Amino acid sequence: MKLSSLVFAGTLLLAHTTANAAGEELANNSGCLACHSIDTQLIGPAYKDVAAKYRDEAGAAELLAEKVKSGGSGTWGNMPMPPNAHVKDEDIRAIVAWILSL
């Protein structure tokens, strides 16, 4: 029983790590890292700051996915974020999940 629990926990950890790597790769390939970084504010906020701001907010993933898709301004200052309609919805969800995991 203990061995199967360890295997299950390891599988979950591997799946989480793989999903996070995929989210980061999608962010890089979609052009997100031209304006954002993980730790430092560039043109847009650092992703760790975004994660901290929305971590305990119900519906944060859906809200952020909509902001990524449609663009917006005002939350982090005057610089608007352009819409990212060219990015597939499933990719946006993966990117947002990665951001919120930071």
CB-based burial of residue 69 (10 Å sphere; 0-12 exposed, 13-18 middle, 19+ buried)?
middle
Angle between helices 60-70 and 89-101 (to 10 degrees): 130
Q: What is the pLDDT of residue 28?
A: 95
Which residue segment(s) compose the domain that 44 sits in?
2-101
- Note the pTM of the prediction, 2 decimals: 0.80
The H-or-E segment that residue 51 falls in is: helix 47-54
Q: What is the pLDDT of residue 5?
A: 46
Computed from CA positions of residues 73, 76, 78, 84, in that sequence, does the dihedral angle turn out positive or negative? negative
Q: What is the pLDDT of residue 60?
A: 97
pLDDT per residue, tens digit, the chain (102 aa), is 555 544 444 333 434 445 577 999 999 999 999 999 999 999 999 999 999 999 999 999 999 999 999 999 999 999 999 999 999 999 999 999 999 999
As for how many domains the chain has, the answer is 1
Task: Supply the CATH number for residue 58's domain.
Answer: 1.10.760.10
